[in-house]
Amino acid sequence: MGEDYIVEHGVTVEANGDVESVDRLMSGVQAPPLYARTMNTEGPYGGFHCTEFHAPSFHILHSGITGTGRPREDGYLIKVLNGITPIDADHSLYYYAFSRNFAVDQEWATQESIEGLATVLDEDKNAGIAKARRVMERLLIAEKASPRG
């Protein structure tokens, strides 16, 4: 979401089978720049940032703002889908797509989203890696121990 206040709010971490989720709720925050410019609006808002890692190779990011005290479904959302496909023992292909439910007909907002997402991906490339690797290690051990392995 591009704001320093993100780190000031705690996170909830949940594990459900092969899915690891990290969820952050932020009440009374200002709208991040893209939202503010696109919607010509100002806060305070309720912000949310949730990441889900679906082992072995899929990640979903839900990021947005909504009126303070309002459900996420009433807000403005950016969703980023990430797929990782191994091509050999040392290399993988990385695919991503993103969508938003606001300013969908504004080309400048699309370009700003593309540039912003590239920056975020570069900054966050190591975030959550340790947890994801632990899940993958557990899955690989289980696979090797199975009668099929």
Q: How far apart are CA 36 and CA 15, in angstroms?
A: 33
User: What is the predicted pLDDT for the residue at 1?
Assistant: 46
pTM of the model: 0.70
User: What is the predicted pLDDT for the residue at 8?
Assistant: 66
Q: How far apart are CA 6 and CA 21, in angstroms?
A: 16
User: Mind giving me the DSSP string for 15-78?
Assistant: EETTEEEEEEEEEEEPPPHHHHHHHT----EEEEEEEEEETTTEEEEEEEEEETTS-GGGSEEE
pLDDT tens digit at each of 149 positions of the chain: 445 555 566 788 898 988 989 888 888 888 777 777 776 666 688 888 899 999 888 999 898 888 888 888 888 898 989 998 989 988 889 898 989 998 899 898 888 888 877 776 666 666 656 667 777 788 888 888 887 65
